[in-house]
Amino acid sequence: MNDWSRIAPQLLDATGETLYMVGVATALTVLLGVPLGVLLTITAPGALAPHPLVNRVLGLVVNLGRSLPFIILLVLVAPVTRGIVGTTIGSTATIVPLTIGAVPFLARLVETSLREVAHGKVEATLAMGARRRDVVRTVLLPEALPSLVAGVTVTVVALISYSAMAGAIGGGGLGDFAIRYGYQQFRTDITLATVVLLLVVVQLLQWAGDRWARRLATS
Amino acid sequence: MIELSDVRKVFPARRTAGEVVALDGVSLSVARGEFAGVVGPSGSGKSTLARLVNLLERPTSGTVTVDGRVLTDLDAAGVREARRSIGMIFQHFNLLDSRTAAGNVEHPLELAGVGRTERRRRVADLLDLVGLADRHASRPAQLSGGQKQRVAIARALAARPSVLLCDEATSALDPASTTGVLELLRQVRAELGLTVLLITHEMSVVRAVCDSAVLMSEGRVVDGGPLAEVLARPDSALAAQLVPAPAGSGVGGDLVLVTVTDATPHGAVLQTLTAELGLSVEVVGGSVETVAGRRFGRLLLRVEGDDGRLDPALARLRAGGALVERAAAGDPRPQSDADDTPRPDREPDVQRLADAPDVQR
């Protein structure tokens, strides 16, 4: 039981891996999820650029991604992961399913945020002679920014939970660590330690995200 | 300056509502520099009318011409270009909360590709014009309703438009702010030579600022013209709304309604009735308003002691230019059917504006 001097550095490494996976996956998710959310919003009936077919197809894809349990998604996208990263084991490989799982999630949140922007603001801007892309760039996204930041925070927290699940199939990070050392070696204290670490990470991120969103909303 | 010609706007049927005819063959002409009002009850199509002028709403048929350009013939890029010369303000201001007052005024200039230094100078001038030079760094949330509408006016004027559309621009404001905003509108109209089309359901707004007005009902223009001319027409439905006829219920005797204008003062009528005919005359109701800078009113007189000479006297007064007529006790004048605009037959089963989904958007 006094092997913590050996375990602590490994725990730290695992935390680093989790942050790495979640960090890169978040960046990719924002890069893909925000444009997808914008498309979902503006192609809706009565919106800026109504396009029923595109809207329905995108909605279907997003719903498919959202309804799939993440553990199933992990297995399903394994061939894709191997194609991109070359392996399905380890934290870099886990970034692929993490991103694929989180993009539809964020896209829906982005859609909800953008729909909250009063239509009158869009109209006032169109009345100035704005192009539709100017409306997205100068009205929809800036006006929804506090809500978008809150959405990204929720997504990051979901990504941490996904990343821990990826540990079940050798994805690296804290989840992996908890399973290999805590569960398989009957070390409840190690499991607890990882849970506490995850909780701290989630709390810190949520606090930072809330603060940022609030600052944007009141500045 | 603004020319609508036989414009129809039909909103197609939806799951919850049938087809809605918002505008049913409207023609309207506003001269350069004119301050024109559009009034009517909610659902009469007046907001749709405003939104047609800058093609926020495309007409189902008919043409829209602004400053000599037929907007309905333009492609998307042409419409965007034309919209720059048509400013618009709204009931709920529609300012961007993510920008300061100055940032909001700067927005159309950014979109038009104006350089930064020029933008800054223009924004300062505009905020000065609307009396908010000291609030340039304020967010919309920190401004009062009247101040927000002033920022919106500055924003609408930023691209130097020749036309300003006001869609219920004072309907969300308290009376004091309304007066301030209307004064500002008159001022900028005079200083910048704007043509203004103002949509409102408040007759007091029309009385305060408009040179001319049209009355809409069920998607049609039912009355209209220069206010001075409209008010001199005793049977005008618009005049009846601008200055309602006084009610004479519960009053006995012969009732005479006198329409008072600068050109037709009531002195001559009173003179004839009292001095010439020797009748006893009493004012039982009335109102005198200043409309478009002119005096206008309606007086309801009770005349006692008529010996048969009243009707010939009234006819003589009318022939002399006075606006005077007998009024029935109780309901002096029917208001709704007063217009004699010919109405072609309509399809009876087309649902009209009662629950038009887009009218209040």
- Residues B218-266 have pLDDT tens digits of 999 999 999 888 887 877 888 888 887 777 666 667 888 888 877 777 7
Contact status, residue B38 vs residue B26, Cβ threshold 8 Å = no
Q: Which of these, B135, B108, B119, lies nearest to B54 by C-alpha position?
A: B108
Tokens of B195: 């043509």
Token readout for B270 is 């009173």
Q: Per the structure block, which two tokens stand in for B220?
A: 């049609």
Exposure b/e, B127-138, CB count within 10 A at least 16 = b: bebbebeebbeb
pLDDT number for residue B351: 39
Tokens of B122: 């223009």
* Confidence tier at B8 by pLDDT (50, 70, 90): very high
Residue from A48, A116, A119, A128 to probe the interface with B (highest B Cβ count within 10 Å): A128
Tally the domains of chain A.
Answer: 1
Contact A23, A173 (CB under 8 A): no
Check the CA dihedral B179-B182-B188-B190 and report its sign. Answer: negative
Instruction: Record the tokens describing residue B236, joined without a space.
Output: 């005008």
| Inter-chain residue contact B107 with A121, CB threshold 8 Å | no
CB neighbour class for B62 (10 Å; exposed up to 12, middle 13-18, buried from 19)? middle
**Mean pLDDT across the stretch B193-201?**
94
Domain ranges of chain B: 2-230+342-354, 245-327
Phi-psi region at B220: left, alpha or beta (left = phi > 0; alpha = psi -120 to 50):
beta
- What would the pLDDT profile of B88-109 be if each residue is shown by its tens digit? 999 999 999 999 999 999 999 9
What is the SS3 assignment for B341? coil
Query: Which candidate, A77, A37, A76, places its Cα nearest to that of A59?
Result: A37
Range of the domain at A73: 3-218
Q: How many whole angstroms separate alpha carbon A18 and alpha carbon A163?
A: 7
Three-state secondary-structure class, residue B250: coil
Architecture of domain B2-230+342-354: 3-Layer(aba) Sandwich (3.40)
The CATH topology of domain B245-327 is Alpha-Beta Plaits (3.30.70)
The pLDDT tens digits for B312-358 are 888 888 887 788 888 776 544 444 433 333 444 433 333 334 344 44
Q: How far is A127 from chain B (nearest CA, A)?
A: 6
Q: What pLDDT is recorded for position B251?
A: 60
Per-residue pLDDT tens digits for B23-70: 999 999 999 999 999 999 888 888 899 999 999 999 999 999 999 999
Q: Which residue has the higher pLDDT, A168 or B203?
A: B203
- Short-list A86, A64, A90, CA closest to A76: A64
**B72 confidence band (pLDDT: 50, 70, 90):** very high
| B92, B95, B108: residue with CB nearest A128 | B108
DSSP at B11: E
Distance CA A10, CA A28 (A): 27
Chain B: residue whose CA lies nearest to A217: B98
**Residues on chain B touching A130 (C-beta within 8 angstroms):** 80, 111
pLDDT at B160 over 70: yes
Residue A1 is predicted with a pLDDT of 53
Chain B residues near any Cβ of chain A (below 8 Å): 54, 56, 80-84, 86, 88, 90, 92, 94-99, 107-108, 110-112, 152, 159, 165, 361
CA distances from B147 to A95, A172, B24, B332 (A): 50, 57, 36, 43
Question: Which residue from B minimizes the CA distance to A123?
Answer: B56
Taking the CA of residue B251 and the nearest CA in chain A, the distance in Å comes to: 51
DSSP code per residue over B37-74: EEE--TTSSHHHHHHHHTTSS--SEEEEEETTEEGGG-
Indicate yes or no: CB of A129 within 8 angstroms of CB of B96.
Answer: no
pLDDT for the residue B316 = 84
Which CATH number fits the domain that encloses residue A27?
A: 1.10.3720.10
Distance from CA of B84 to the nearest CA of A (A): 5
pLDDT (0 to 100) of residue B313: 84
Q: What is the pLDDT of residue B329?
A: 61
DSSP conformation class of B330: B
Low-confidence ranges of chain A (pLDDT < 50): none
The mean predicted confidence, pLDDT, of chain B is: 85
Residues of chain B with pLDDT > 70: what percent? 89
Distance (Å, whole) CA A102 – CA A163:
11
